[in-house]
Amino acid sequence: MSEIERQYQEMGIDDDVYAYGKRILQDLEERFRDIDEIAEYNQLKVLKAMQECQVSEACLLGTSGYGYNDLGRETLEAVYAKVFHTEDALVRPQITCGTHALALALMSNLRPGDELLSPVGKPYDTLEEVIGIRPSKGSLAEYGITYRQVDLLEDGSFDYESIRKAITDRTRLVTIQRSKGYQTRPTFSVKQIGELISFVKEIRPDILCMTDNCYGEFVETIEPGDVGADMVVGSLIKNPGGGLAPVGGYIAGKKECVENAAYRLTSPGLGKEVGASLDVLKSFYQGLFLAPTVTAAALKGAIFAANLYERLEFAVIPDGRESRHDIIQAVTFGSPEAVIAFCHGIQAAAPVDSHVTPEPWDMPGYDAQVIMAAGAFVSGSSIELSADAPIKPPYAVYFQGGLTWPHAKFGILKSLQALVNAGLVDKSRLRP
Ligand SMILES: *Cc1c(COP(=O)(O)O)cnc(C)c1O
């Protein structure tokens, strides 16, 4: 037995499970090389932006109080604008999460009487209350901003005919969610998003196009800003925070859009000029610097999981061979026991709270119990290895993250081991 096999064994991975994983990986060498190449490109892109903006030691220090003349904050926002190829950016710890960033971008760029259009079907769950699809205090609907949606065609493609019809004189902003989130539609490539934006702009060039970029950053070499998006929006406790940002969100985009967002985040008249960065800047810079390779690690984990479970005849979305545009992997297990065992395995692989056992619970806002596995350094961070699943048919787990590839690999082997230990996957199926 090799040294590494012994180490895995000491950490609860049987020979059979390890050997099975090793065989799966042999077929993935070329895919992983491509991912490394994208990470290499993106690493240089981030580095170039940091160098061109002359990030200095002083930028790593924060401000307190009003935060006037915050060099680090202003430089960081310039770096984001360069990385996403947009005119400007707002990158703040005061943006509390991805939903907040998206809500901010929408509320600050829409006015009463305007209409918001989603041409890609239902948006992410938490946006339903922002928009007012589910009534909520302070929703866009309460401010007289209406919403229209065009669903995707059966095959997951854009319904251009219906989109054309849905665009009216009142249409002000089009929101395009890159990642499938927790739906079963495909995730869009940046190129596809570009085609949709071009289509919209041909009908009415003054319509603003926003992309919800959550989970998509650095998966490809281009970002939505490269294909005409007026705003690119996301969370720093996902990909671009590189696992180090402890909080935050970003809006990169046209100068005017970003200014509107800043006026809404702080106050009319104050905009970007205030907002103390406290002590987070170093983690924002360092996290962004690491983000390309961290995203690559998470992506390898997702592809490894897809291939490993696909060969055991579980349904996986995306499948093992599909090209990737986000870091989320869904695996359908078909039974609550298997879903729970999978999550136990992920939890047991964590650097924090590995000794606790996650259980399904009645989470507010969900119609079924939900189980979540996460042992993260940053609470709720989903660029760190994590999984969650509603306990209802078809009993699918959504899995994402992994700050390093060895950790993502270990977590997935641990999940398989948990299924084997629970008698839900027969060991004979792991043999060649
Ligand atoms: C995570 C996510 C959000 C919301 O981000 P939070 O930080 O959880 O509020 C929105 N859209 C998509 C596609 C996401 O993946």
List, for residues 319-351, the tens digit of each pLDDT value.
999 999 999 999 999 999 999 999 999 999 999
Residue 353's region, left for phi above 0, alpha for psi from -120 to 50, else beta, is left
Mutate to test the pocket of ligand 1, among 212, 363, 370, 398 (most ligand atoms within 8 A of CB): 212
Nearest CA to ligand 1 atom 3: 98
Q: Crossing angle of helices 255-265/98-109, nearest 10°? A: 110
Residue of 203, 274, 261, 187 lying closest to 230 (CA atoms): 261
List, chain by chain if needed, residues with CB within 6 Å of any ligand 1 atom.
97-99, 124, 126, 177, 179, 181, 212, 214-215, 235
pLDDT tens digits, 190-230: 999 999 999 999 999 999 999 999 999 999 999 999 999 99
Residue 365's region, left for phi above 0, alpha for psi from -120 to 50, else beta, is left
Ligand 1: centre distance to CA 215 (Å) = 8
Look at the block and give the residue holding tokens 């997702």.
302
Tokens of 273: 């000029």
Query: For residue 180, which atom of ligand 1 is closest to its CA?
Result: 13
CB-count exposure of residue 432 (10 Å: 0-12, 13-18, 19+): exposed
Query: For residue 100, which atom of ligand 1 is closest to its CA?
Result: 9
Please count the CA atoms within 13 angstroms of the CA of 99 that sit on its side-chain side.
11
What band does 365 get if pLDDT is binned at 50, 70 and 90?
Answer: low
pTM of the model: 0.96
| Beta carbons within 10 angstroms of residue 342's beta carbon | 30
Query: For residue 177, which atom of ligand 1 is closest to its CA?
Result: 13
CA dihedral 97, 212, 45, 243 (to 10 degrees): 30
**388 in Cβ contact with 397 (< 8 Å):** yes
Strand order in the sheet with 396-400: 315-317, 329-332, 396-400, 386-390, 370-374
Ligand 1: centre distance to CA 424 (Å) = 32
Ligand 1: centre distance to CA 409 (Å) = 24
